[in-house]
Protein backbone atom coordinates (compact mmCIF):
# COMPACT_ATOMS: atom_id res chain seq x y z
CA UNK A 1 0.00 0.00 0.00
CA UNK A 2 0.91 3.67 -0.24
CA UNK A 3 3.26 4.88 2.49
CA UNK A 4 3.62 8.38 3.86
CA UNK A 5 6.44 9.28 6.22
CA UNK A 6 6.97 12.28 8.45
CA UNK A 7 10.16 13.62 9.93
CA UNK A 8 10.85 14.21 12.70
CA UNK A 9 8.46 12.04 14.68
CA UNK A 10 8.82 14.32 17.66
CA UNK A 11 10.56 17.61 18.33
CA UNK A 12 11.07 19.81 21.34
CA UNK A 13 12.05 23.41 20.76
CA UNK A 14 12.36 26.68 22.60
CA UNK A 15 9.78 29.39 22.23
CA UNK A 16 10.62 31.74 19.36
CA UNK A 17 12.45 29.20 17.23
CA UNK A 18 11.23 27.74 13.92
CA UNK A 19 10.58 24.07 13.30
CA UNK A 20 10.35 22.31 9.94
CA UNK A 21 8.32 19.14 9.50
CA UNK A 22 8.68 17.02 6.37
CA UNK A 23 6.01 14.88 4.78
CA UNK A 24 7.04 12.40 2.11
CA UNK A 25 5.11 10.00 -0.07
CA UNK A 26 7.50 7.06 -0.36
CA UNK A 27 6.15 4.97 -3.18
CA UNK A 28 3.73 7.20 -5.06
CA UNK A 29 3.35 10.67 -6.46
CA UNK A 30 1.19 13.03 -4.47
CA UNK A 31 -0.23 16.05 -6.26
CA UNK A 32 -1.99 17.13 -3.10
CA UNK A 33 -0.96 16.92 0.51
CA UNK A 34 -3.00 18.02 3.49
CA UNK A 35 -1.74 19.25 6.84
CA UNK A 36 -3.76 18.63 9.99
CA UNK A 37 -3.33 19.51 13.63
CA UNK A 38 -4.71 17.47 16.49
CA UNK A 39 -4.88 18.53 20.12
CA UNK A 40 -5.26 15.87 22.84
CA UNK A 41 -8.62 14.12 22.80
CA UNK A 42 -9.77 16.25 19.90
CA UNK A 43 -10.48 15.77 16.25
CA UNK A 44 -8.05 16.29 13.40
CA UNK A 45 -8.42 19.84 12.13
CA UNK A 46 -7.39 20.66 8.58
CA UNK A 47 -4.88 23.49 8.51
CA UNK A 48 -3.98 23.76 4.85
CA UNK A 49 -3.95 22.07 1.47
CA UNK A 50 -0.66 21.85 -0.35
CA UNK A 51 -0.55 21.43 -4.12
CA UNK A 52 2.68 20.65 -5.91
CA UNK A 53 4.09 23.69 -7.65
CA UNK A 54 1.55 26.18 -6.35
CA UNK A 55 0.79 28.12 -3.20
CA UNK A 56 -0.88 26.36 -0.34
CA UNK A 57 -4.45 27.23 0.58
CA UNK A 58 -5.09 27.79 4.26
CA UNK A 59 -8.18 27.15 6.31
CA UNK A 60 -9.93 29.98 8.08
CA UNK A 61 -8.10 31.00 11.21
CA UNK A 62 -4.75 29.48 10.22
CA UNK A 63 -2.02 32.09 9.80
CA UNK A 64 -0.16 31.50 6.56
CA UNK A 65 2.84 33.53 7.71
CA UNK A 66 3.18 31.41 10.81
CA UNK A 67 2.69 28.02 9.16
CA UNK A 68 4.76 28.09 5.99
CA UNK A 69 4.07 25.29 3.56
CA UNK A 70 6.21 24.31 0.62
CA UNK A 71 5.34 21.53 -1.83
CA UNK A 72 8.33 21.56 -4.12
CA UNK A 73 8.02 18.07 -5.58
CA UNK A 74 5.45 15.33 -6.07
CA UNK A 75 6.81 13.45 -3.08
CA UNK A 76 7.64 16.13 -0.52
CA UNK A 77 5.76 18.83 1.37
CA UNK A 78 7.17 20.74 4.32
CA UNK A 79 5.44 22.64 7.10
CA UNK A 80 7.50 25.22 8.96
CA UNK A 81 6.16 26.54 12.22
CA UNK A 82 7.79 29.94 12.52
CA UNK A 83 8.47 31.62 15.84
CA UNK A 84 6.85 28.75 17.68
CA UNK A 85 5.05 29.37 20.96
CA UNK A 86 3.80 26.95 23.61
CA UNK A 87 0.26 27.14 22.20
CA UNK A 88 1.61 25.66 18.94
CA UNK A 89 2.43 22.45 20.80
CA UNK A 90 0.33 19.81 19.11
CA UNK A 91 0.33 16.69 16.96
CA UNK A 92 0.83 17.58 13.30
CA UNK A 93 -0.26 15.03 10.72
CA UNK A 94 0.02 15.14 6.96
CA UNK A 95 -1.83 13.11 4.36
CA UNK A 96 -1.24 12.65 0.67
CA UNK A 97 -3.46 11.93 -2.28
CA UNK A 98 -2.20 9.50 -4.86
CA UNK A 99 -2.34 10.81 -8.40
CA UNK A 100 -3.76 7.51 -9.59
CA UNK A 101 -6.28 6.88 -6.83
CA UNK A 102 -9.84 8.16 -6.51
CA UNK A 103 -10.20 11.64 -5.09
CA UNK A 104 -11.50 10.36 -1.78
CA UNK A 105 -8.39 8.33 -1.01
CA UNK A 106 -5.83 9.85 1.36
CA UNK A 107 -2.87 8.21 3.03
CA UNK A 108 -1.84 9.57 6.39
CA UNK A 109 1.60 9.97 7.84
CA UNK A 110 2.49 8.82 11.36
CA UNK A 111 2.40 12.35 12.76
CA UNK A 112 4.90 14.70 14.38
CA UNK A 113 4.61 15.60 18.04
CA UNK A 114 5.74 19.21 18.61
CA UNK A 115 6.43 20.50 22.09
CA UNK A 116 7.36 24.16 22.46
CA UNK A 117 8.88 25.11 25.79
CA UNK B 1 -21.49 23.86 7.97
CA UNK B 2 -21.28 20.12 8.34
CA UNK B 3 -20.89 18.80 11.88
CA UNK B 4 -20.01 15.29 12.92
CA UNK B 5 -20.83 13.70 16.25
CA UNK B 6 -19.38 10.48 17.56
CA UNK B 7 -19.96 8.91 20.97
CA UNK B 8 -17.59 10.88 23.14
CA UNK B 9 -17.74 8.31 25.93
CA UNK B 10 -15.23 5.51 25.68
CA UNK B 11 -16.69 2.15 24.79
CA UNK B 12 -15.59 -0.79 26.92
CA UNK B 13 -16.52 -4.27 25.78
CA UNK B 14 -15.53 -7.85 26.43
CA UNK B 15 -13.41 -9.81 23.98
CA UNK B 16 -15.54 -11.72 21.50
CA UNK B 17 -18.45 -9.30 21.61
CA UNK B 18 -19.49 -6.96 18.81
CA UNK B 19 -18.50 -3.32 19.17
CA UNK B 20 -20.84 -0.77 17.60
CA UNK B 21 -19.74 2.81 17.11
CA UNK B 22 -21.94 5.64 15.89
CA UNK B 23 -21.28 8.60 13.63
CA UNK B 24 -23.98 11.21 13.11
CA UNK B 25 -23.78 14.19 10.82
CA UNK B 26 -26.02 17.21 10.78
CA UNK B 27 -26.10 18.82 7.39
CA UNK B 28 -26.02 17.77 3.76
CA UNK B 29 -25.66 14.12 2.85
CA UNK B 30 -22.08 13.39 1.86
CA UNK B 31 -21.15 11.47 -1.25
CA UNK B 32 -19.20 9.07 0.96
CA UNK B 33 -18.13 8.47 4.52
CA UNK B 34 -14.91 6.97 5.81
CA UNK B 35 -13.81 5.23 8.99
CA UNK B 36 -10.29 5.35 10.34
CA UNK B 37 -8.44 3.77 13.21
CA UNK B 38 -6.01 5.85 15.26
CA UNK B 39 -3.64 4.45 17.86
CA UNK B 40 -2.13 6.74 20.55
CA UNK B 41 0.57 8.97 19.11
CA UNK B 42 0.00 7.73 15.55
CA UNK B 43 -1.67 9.00 12.41
CA UNK B 44 -5.06 7.63 11.28
CA UNK B 45 -5.19 4.42 9.29
CA UNK B 46 -7.92 4.07 6.67
CA UNK B 47 -10.36 1.21 7.26
CA UNK B 48 -13.45 1.52 5.09
CA UNK B 49 -15.24 3.86 2.74
CA UNK B 50 -18.96 3.67 2.07
CA UNK B 51 -20.72 5.66 -0.64
CA UNK B 52 -24.12 7.34 -0.40
CA UNK B 53 -25.74 4.72 -2.62
CA UNK B 54 -24.45 1.84 -0.49
CA UNK B 55 -26.32 0.67 2.55
CA UNK B 56 -23.66 -1.62 3.94
CA UNK B 57 -20.02 -2.52 3.41
CA UNK B 58 -17.97 -5.32 4.92
CA UNK B 59 -14.30 -6.07 5.28
CA UNK B 60 -13.31 -9.10 7.29
CA UNK B 61 -14.66 -8.48 10.83
CA UNK B 62 -15.68 -4.91 10.05
CA UNK B 63 -19.08 -3.75 8.86
CA UNK B 64 -20.21 -0.23 8.09
CA UNK B 65 -23.75 0.94 7.43
CA UNK B 66 -24.86 4.27 5.99
CA UNK B 67 -28.36 5.61 6.53
CA UNK B 68 -28.79 8.90 4.69
CA UNK B 69 -32.30 9.33 6.10
CA UNK B 70 -31.07 9.16 9.68
CA UNK B 71 -27.82 10.91 8.72
CA UNK B 72 -25.94 8.20 10.51
CA UNK B 73 -23.27 5.60 9.99
CA UNK B 74 -22.69 2.63 12.25
CA UNK B 75 -19.35 0.87 12.48
CA UNK B 76 -19.32 -2.68 13.80
CA UNK B 77 -16.40 -4.87 14.81
CA UNK B 78 -17.50 -8.46 15.29
CA UNK B 79 -15.63 -10.98 17.44
CA UNK B 80 -13.66 -8.11 18.94
CA UNK B 81 -10.12 -8.64 20.17
CA UNK B 82 -7.92 -6.66 22.58
CA UNK B 83 -5.86 -5.65 19.53
CA UNK B 84 -8.92 -3.75 18.26
CA UNK B 85 -8.53 -1.28 21.15
CA UNK B 86 -7.96 2.12 19.59
CA UNK B 87 -9.78 5.33 18.74
CA UNK B 88 -12.05 5.14 15.71
CA UNK B 89 -12.72 8.24 13.66
CA UNK B 90 -15.35 8.89 11.05
CA UNK B 91 -14.69 11.41 8.32
CA UNK B 92 -16.77 13.07 5.63
CA UNK B 93 -15.90 15.23 2.64
CA UNK B 94 -16.24 18.83 3.65
CA UNK B 95 -18.58 19.63 0.81
CA UNK B 96 -19.07 19.22 -2.88
CA UNK B 97 -16.08 19.84 -5.11
CA UNK B 98 -13.79 20.43 -2.13
CA UNK B 99 -10.89 18.53 -3.64
CA UNK B 100 -10.97 15.68 -1.15
CA UNK B 101 -10.87 17.83 1.99
CA UNK B 102 -12.19 15.91 4.96
CA UNK B 103 -13.75 16.81 8.28
CA UNK B 104 -13.32 14.38 11.14
CA UNK B 105 -15.37 13.45 14.16
CA UNK B 106 -13.64 13.60 17.54
CA UNK B 107 -13.43 9.82 17.62
CA UNK B 108 -14.65 7.11 19.94
CA UNK B 109 -12.15 5.26 22.09
CA UNK B 110 -12.75 1.53 22.12
CA UNK B 111 -11.29 -0.72 24.78
CA UNK B 112 -11.64 -4.47 24.40
CA UNK B 113 -10.95 -6.41 27.59
CA UNK B 114 -9.69 -10.00 27.49
pLDDT digits (tens, 9 = 90+) for B40-88: 999 999 999 999 999 999 999 999 999 999 999 999 999 999 999 999 9
B34 with A41: Cβ contact below 8 A: no
What does each C-alpha distance from B107 to A44, A69, B22, B32, B39 come to in angstroms?
Answer: 9, 27, 10, 18, 11
Q: Using CA atoms, how far apart are residues B11 and A108, in angstroms rounded to an integer?
A: 25
pLDDT value at A109 more than 70? yes
B41 with A91: Cβ contact below 8 A: yes
Pick from B114, B39, B37, B38: which is nearest to B75 by CA? B37
A28 C-beta neighbours (distance < 10 Å), count: 18
pLDDT in tens, A31-71: 899 999 999 888 999 999 998 888 899 999 999 999 999 98
Q: Which of A41, A49, A108 has the CB atom closest to B43's CB atom?
A: A108
Q: Which of B34, B46, B101 has the CB atom closest to A49's CB atom?
A: B101
Pick from A13, A24, A1: which is nearest to A75 by CA? A24
pLDDT value at B1 more than 80? no
A43 with B101: Cβ contact below 8 A: no
Q: Which of B36, B89, B100 has the CB atom closest to A32's CB atom?
A: B100
A43 interaction partners in chain B (CB closer than 8 Å) = 4, 89, 103-107
Residues B19-36 have a mean pLDDT of 92
Distance from CA of A15 to the nearest CA of B (A): 23
**Ranges assigned E (strand) in A1-117:** 4-7, 10-13, 19-25, 30-38, 44-51, 57-58, 67-73, 76-81, 90-98, 107-108, 112-116
Of A94-98, B1-5, B21-25, minimum mean pLDDT range: B1-5
Count contacts between A and B (CB, < 8 Å): 57
Amino acid sequence: GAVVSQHPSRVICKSGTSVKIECRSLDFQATTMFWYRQFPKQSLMLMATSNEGSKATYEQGVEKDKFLINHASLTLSTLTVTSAHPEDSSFYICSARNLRSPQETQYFGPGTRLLVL
Amino acid sequence: SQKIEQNSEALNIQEGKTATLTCNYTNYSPAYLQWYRQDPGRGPVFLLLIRENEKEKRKERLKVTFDTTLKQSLFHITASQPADSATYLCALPRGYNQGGKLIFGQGTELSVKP
